[in-house]
Structures are given as C-alpha cells and as structure tokens.
C-alpha cells in the first residue's frame, strides 16, 4: 500500500514538472502546424512534421549570423571578464592597504546602480570617445564587448575576491621564494586553484550576456551585428505576427540554451546557488 | 626597490580593468547626475538648458510617472508573494526522498535560463491563442481569455510570467537552505510525534530565515528592475496599464526625447533601488549577528 502511494507521488511530481514546462511544449508543437491546425487545437501534436516555418524563421531572423554574433560576443567578453577580474581581485585581496580597500568597495557599491540610470550618459560618453579618438565604440562588436566587461566585472571581482580570501597564502609565497614573478605566480599557482569560482563566474555571465537585450539594442544599429535577442525583437516587430513561424523562431533561440543546460546542468545549479548566497 | 616593484605589479594587474570599469560605469554615473539638472532633447546641436532641481520637482505632478511608480510597487509586491510561495513549495517538493526529484528540479529551473525577452514572446502566444482555445474547450471562459488585452488583467499576466521565470531560481536558494538543516533535528521531531505541518512551522521555517531574506530581497530587486519581459509581453500596454518603472524611463528618454527629465527619473530609480538593497544588507547583517 505504501509503495503504491510513493509511486503515485513520483508520477505526480513528474507530471507537475511537465505541466510547468507546458509553455515550452506549446511553443514547440505549434512551430510545425498550419494556421488551420493551430486554430483547431493548440495543444495537440502536429499532424505532420514540416520544417517550412523553421526555414522561413531562420531566413527572416538571419539566425546563423545572429547566433554567430551572440556566440562571439559572449565568449570574448567572458574571456576578458575572467582574466581581468581574477587578476584584479587577487591583487586587491592580497594587498592590504587603503587604496585596494577603496577600489574594492567601489566595485561593490556600483552593483547597486540599475542599468537604466547609466544607459543614456553611457551612450553620450561612447559617442564623445568615438569622436575624440576615432575608436569605434558604438555599433561594433568590440565596443559592446568593452561595455559587457565593464558591467559584469563588479560581480566577478566580488566572487573572486571572496574566494581568494579563503585560500592559503603559503603556496604563493613559496612560488615567490622560488623566483617566480607575480605574473608567473598568479597564472601558474593561483589561477588553477580558482577553478571552482571561475566556473561559477562563467556560468553567471553566459546567462547574463547571452540573454541581454537592452545594452545591445542601444549599442548595435547595423542589421548584420544583431545578437539573438535583438533579431528576435526585430523579427516580432517587423512583420505582422504569423504565429507558427514565430514559434519556430522562438524554438530556434531556445535550442542553444537547452543544449547548454543539458551539458552544464550541475554547474549551473551550483553556480546560481553560490552567486546568489554571497 | 621591492616596494616599487610591487607597486608596478599592482598597477599592471588592476589598471586594465579599472580603466574599462571607470569608462563604462563610474563616469556615466556621474554624467547622469549632471544631465538630470538640464533640459535637453538629446540632439547634440541643440542647447542644454540648466534648470536646477526643476526636473525633480516636476516629478511630483507627473501622473504617468506616479502611475508607473504605483504599478511597479503593486507588481513587485504581488510577485514577491507568488514567486516565493511557489519557489518554497517547489523546494519542499524536490527535497523529499522521491526518485524523480532531480529531473523535477532541473525542469523547474529551466525557464530561468531562457531570456526574459523570449519568455515574454512565448507567453504572448499562450495568452492570445492557447488561452482562448483552452477557454473554448473547457468552458472556463471567465478565466481563459486574453489577459493581455485587458487593462485590469495585463499586470497579473506580467506577475504570472515573472513568477514562471523566477520561481526556479529562488527554489535553488531555498533548497540550499533546506539541505543545511541538520537531519537529527527533523528526526527528533518525528520521533516526538510532530506532524508535517508542525515541523514546517516550528522547525523548517525558522531555520530557513536566511534563505527567506535572500529570496525576498532578490525578488524585490529583480521585480523592481523588470524590463525585458515587460517589453515583449505587454510593451507597457494596454493604455499604459503595465508600463513599469524601467520601461517608463526608457520611453521618457528615448521615446519622448526628454533626456534631462528622463535622466532625473533614472536617478530617482537608482536611489530607490539602492535604498531597498542597502536595507537588505543591513537586515541580513543584523540577523547574522543574532545567529
């Protein structure tokens, strides 16, 4: 008797979770349906698998280009964030003076600033820099990456700083005595030890940068530079909505996320927990 | 000699990031406060007129701004309740000894990874088409209709979708809290004959206080700053009934080209967010001392 009730609870929990994800199911099945079929029943499985709407959505969203842009921007930003934040955080954590404390507190304090407070002056400043130096800050992938680094480094510095404080100094001191420069000590001795928190930093930033919409929408104006959220936005704005094609487009944008989730699930859940609790 | 060398390393390690950080965050922040004292339409060739505090005093008579502020508060409070009730329920469900808990946990968390913009579009379809058809099928047409077209219900639609997005995230934090509760305390209470409800109320909830604090304030701060879902699900409509703070500021600056006035609103937005977050830090710290 008790076994049966446990089994039914298992099933109930699983069905509950499936029901929770039903919007994803509805999105997926309707990406294959004709309009008539959709109208008949949105919840039913499609009668036949046609990839017609996927082809249309890929073409209209310029999906391959957008995917490439998103991938490039996310990866390069994260390489810089990890490198620069870990170096800075280590220096700040190991230098015990007023200046390093002030710098660290500034990083923390600015985490309070919502993006909307900075967005307009940021664009003005980037425009001024562009005109003064000729460096193309606006409407370039490089400029966007530069800004992603600026916005996401505080959190990374904060996480790295906390982690560095928890590892012993003795290994670094030994390396210094053996004649290692600070640079060598950091990359050969310290950085490998930071691996767990590096994984957390990478995960949090992948989610943040991949999905970011507002910053790229302000910085990028050329069609061929659009990231996935941007091309989705314009895809919905430019045409009267053809829901089957729209669902195909949305499914396309969700696929990379699901693949990433399947491969990094354990790290993601751990990373979210750590990132939030600290 | 050694001291100077150390200084060199310090500069080499920190200055690259500091330059980027200063250009992207610090300088624009200061510029933002400066801009908020001017009247300007954002066109470089047009003059900026210094108006002092006028942009700030004007806020009190701006009905759209006050409506938006009130909507944001309403949205945040409703979300605070629904996100945390559901997240806690999920967390309690997936910390049982069932075998499907891992799969369920992964599925509950999934929506959080999909960007807010895309979530909003998925739900736009569900509200506009799936809800209508479900209403026809089940006969519950009073519940299943297009919420997004009704000024009274659109805000609830936003709360609904935000809950769907955030519940999994908060669940993770509650799970961490629940797993931190020592097993012997639970076992002792079971032996003493405590019911599940007693255990929940007298043991689990009090020991979850730190997780509560984190979750409440994270929801508060995320709710206050919501933008992407707002833009793609309702776009602020119908008739501005869901134009929350962040979207309102965007529209004021870039939509109506009131750069100075919009920036003053953005500064006020910062002050509110900072006040809320700082009180969180204060309360968390105080609680840590107590424990």
For residue B140, how many other CB atoms are within 10 A of its CB? 12
Residue B167 lies in a domain: yes
Gap between the Cα atoms of A126 and A138, Å rounded: 7
CB A91 to CB B100 under 8 A? no
DSSP code for B49: E
pLDDT by 10s per residue, chain A, length 278: 455 677 888 888 888 899 899 999 999 998 998 888 887 777 788 888 888 889 988 998 899 999 999 999 999 999 999 999 999 999 999 988 899 999 999 998 898 899 999 999 999 999 999 999 999 999 999 999 999 999 999 999 999 999 998 888 888 888 888 888 888 889 988 999 999 999 989 998 999 999 999 999 999 999 999 999 999 999 988 766 788 888 999 999 999 999 999 888 888 888 877 766 65
Is the minimum CB–CB distance between A179 and chain B shorter than 8 Å? no
Is the minimum CB–CB distance between A239 and chain B shorter than 8 Å? no
DSSP code for B237: -
Is the minimum CB–CB distance between A95 and chain B shorter than 8 Å? yes
Is the minimum CB–CB distance between A164 and chain B shorter than 8 Å? no
For residue B279, what pLDDT band results from cuts at 50, 70 and 90? confident
List all residues of chain B from 182 to 211 with a beta carbon under 8 Å from chain A. none
Domain positions in chain A are 62-238
> Closest Cα of chain B to A85: distance in Å?
7
Judge contact between B171 and B105, C-beta under 8 A: yes
Residue with tokens 């936005």: A233
**Which residues are registered as beta bridge partners of B49?**
B39
Which tens digits make up the pLDDT trace of B230-250? 999 998 878 888 999 999 999
Gap between the Cα atoms of A27 and A252, Å rounded: 11
CB B29 to CB A117 under 8 A? yes
**Which residues are registered as beta bridge partners of B50?**
B38
pLDDT of A169? 87
Best residue of B3, B7, B17 to probe chain A, by most A CBs closer than 10 Å: B17
Indicate which CATH number applies to the domain containing B271. 1.10.3720.10
pLDDT of B2? 62
The total number of structural domains in chain B stands at 1
List all residues of chain A from 105 to 124 with a beta carbon under 8 Å from chain B. 106-107, 110, 112-122, 124
Query: Which are the contacts of A272, defined by CB distance < 8 A and separation ≥ 6?
Result: A203, A204, B109, B112, B169, B172
Please give the full DSSP string across A129-169, using - where no structure is assigned.
HHHHH----TTSHHHHHHHHHHHHHHHHHHHHHHHHHHS-S
Structural domain of B252 = 62-290
For residue A75, how many other CB atoms are within 10 A of its CB? 13
Which tens digits make up the pLDDT trace of B157-170? 999 999 999 999 99
Contact list in B for residue A113 (CB cut-off 8 A) is: 25, 29, 270, 273-274
pLDDT of B27? 96
Gap between the Cα atoms of A153 and A158, Å rounded: 8
Supply φ then ψ for residue A137, to 5 degrees. Answer: -85, -35
Residue B24 lies in a domain: no
CATH of A62-238, one of 3.30.390.10, 1.10.3720.10, 3.30.450.20, 3.90.245.10: 1.10.3720.10
Residue B42 lies in a domain: no
pLDDT of A278? 57
Does B5 have pLDDT greater than 80?
no
Residue B110 lies in a domain: yes
Residue B91 lies in a domain: yes
CB B9 to CB A91 under 8 A? yes
Gap between the Cα atoms of A44 and A37, Å rounded: 9
In 3-state terms chain B splits into helix, strand, coil percentages (rounded to 5) of: 75, 0, 20
Which of A84, A246, A276 is closest, CB to CB, to B16? A84
Contact list in A for residue B46 (CB cut-off 8 A) is: none
Write b or e for each residue in B11-27: b if 16 or more Cβ atoms lie within 10 A of its Cβ, otherwise e.
eebbebbbebbebbbbb
Gap between the Cα atoms of A263 and A247, Å rounded: 24
CB A154 to CB B21 under 8 A? yes
Residue B80 lies in a domain: yes
Judge contact between B26 and A113, C-beta under 8 A: no
Judge contact between A120 and A157, C-beta under 8 A: no
List all residues of chain A from 19 to 48 with a beta carbon under 8 Å from chain B. 20-21, 23-24, 26-27, 30, 38-39, 41-43
Query: Which are the contacts of B170, defined by CB distance < 8 A and separation ≥ 6?
Result: B83, B84, B87, B88, B215, B218, B219
> Closest Cα of chain B to A68: distance in Å?
17
pLDDT of A239? 66
Contact list in B for residue A182 (CB cut-off 8 A) is: 6, 9, 13
Query: Which are the contacts of A228, defined by CB distance < 8 A and separation ≥ 6?
Result: A63, A66, A67, A69, A70, A210, A253, A256
Residue B39 lies in a domain: no
Q: Which residue has the higher pLDDT, B257 or B194?
A: B257
Average pLDDT over residues B179-184: 83
ipTM of the modeled complex: 0.89
> Closest Cα of chain B to A58: distance in Å?
16
Which of B98, B176, B274 is closest, CB to CB, to A13? B98
Which of B24, B25, B250 is closest, CB to CB, to A116? B250
Which tens digits make up the pLDDT trace of B134-148? 777 777 777 778 888
Judge contact between A246 and B121, C-beta under 8 A: yes
Supply φ then ψ for residue B38, to 5 degrees. Answer: -120, 160
Chain B residue with Cα closest to A184: B9
């Amino acid at each position: 008797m008790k076994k049966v009730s446990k089994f039914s609870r298992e099933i109930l929990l699983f069905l509950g979770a499936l029901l929770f994800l039903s919007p994803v199911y509805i999105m997926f099945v309707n990406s294959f349906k004709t309009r008539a079929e959709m109208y008949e029943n949105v919840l039913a499985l499609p009668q036949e698998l046609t990839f017609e709407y996927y082809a249309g959505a890929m073409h209209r969203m310029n999906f391959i280009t957008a995917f490439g842009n998103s991938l490039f921007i996310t990866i390069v930003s994260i390489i810089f964030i990890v490198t620069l934040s870990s170096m800075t955080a280590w220096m700040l954590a190991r230098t015990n003076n007023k200046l390093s404390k002030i710098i660290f507190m500034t990083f923390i304090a600015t985490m309070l600033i919502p993006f909307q407070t900075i967005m307009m002056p940021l664009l003005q400043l980037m425009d001024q820099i562009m005109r003064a130096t000729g460096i193309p800050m606006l409407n370039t992938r490089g400029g966007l990456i530069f800004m992603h680094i600026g916005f996401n480094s505080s959190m990374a510095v904060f996480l790295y700083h906390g982690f560095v404080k928890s590892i012993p100094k003795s290994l670094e001191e030994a390396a210094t005595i053996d004649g290692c420069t600070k640079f060598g000590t950091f990359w050969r001795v310290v950085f490998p030890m930071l691996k767990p928190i590096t994984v957390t930093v990478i995960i949090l930033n992948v989610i943040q940068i991949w999905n970011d919409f507002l910053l790229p929408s302000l910085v990028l104006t050329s069609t061929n530079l659009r990231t996935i959220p941007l091309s989705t936005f314009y895809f919905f704005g430019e045409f009267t909505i053809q829901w089957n094609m729209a669902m195909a487009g949305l499914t396309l944008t969700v696929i990379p996320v699901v693949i990433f989730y399947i491969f990094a699930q354990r790290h993601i859940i751990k990373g979210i927990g750590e990132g939030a609790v600290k | 000699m050694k001291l100077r060398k150390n200084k060199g390393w310090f500069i080499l390690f920190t200055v690259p990031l500091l330059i980027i950080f200063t250009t992207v965050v610090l300088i624009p922040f200061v510029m933002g406060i400066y801009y908020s004292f001017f009247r300007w339409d954002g066109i470089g060739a047009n003059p900026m007129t210094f108006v002092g505090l006028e942009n700030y005093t004007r806020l009190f008579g701006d009905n759209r701004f006050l409506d938006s502020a009130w909507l944001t508060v309403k949205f945040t409070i409703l979300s605070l309740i629904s996100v945390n009730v559901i997240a806690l329920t999920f967390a309690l469900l997936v910390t049982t000894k069932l075998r499907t808990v891992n799969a369920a946990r992964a599925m509950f968390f999934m929506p959080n990874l999909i960007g807010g913009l895309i979530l909003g579009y998925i739900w736009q379809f569900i509200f506009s088409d799936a809800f209508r058809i479900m209403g026809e099928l089940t006969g519950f047409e009073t519940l299943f209709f297009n919420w997004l077209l009704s000024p009274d219900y659109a805000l609830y639609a936003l709360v609904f979708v935000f809950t769907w997005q955030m519940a999994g995230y908060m669940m993770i934090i509650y799970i961490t809290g629940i797993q931190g509760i020592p097993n012997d305390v639970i076992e002792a209470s079971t032996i003493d004959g405590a019911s599940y409800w007693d255990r929940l109320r007298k043991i689990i909830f009090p020991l979850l206080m730190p997780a509560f604090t984190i979750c409440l304030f994270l929801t508060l701060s995320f709710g206050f700053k919501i933008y992407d879902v707002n833009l793609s699900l309702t776009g602020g409509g119908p008739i501005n009934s869901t134009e929350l703070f962040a979207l309102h500021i965007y529209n004021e600056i870039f939509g109506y080209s009131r750069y100075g006035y919009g920036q003053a609103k953005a500064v006020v937005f910062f002050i509110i967010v900072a006040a809320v977050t700082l009180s969180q830090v204060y309360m968390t710290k105080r609680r840590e001392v107590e424990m």
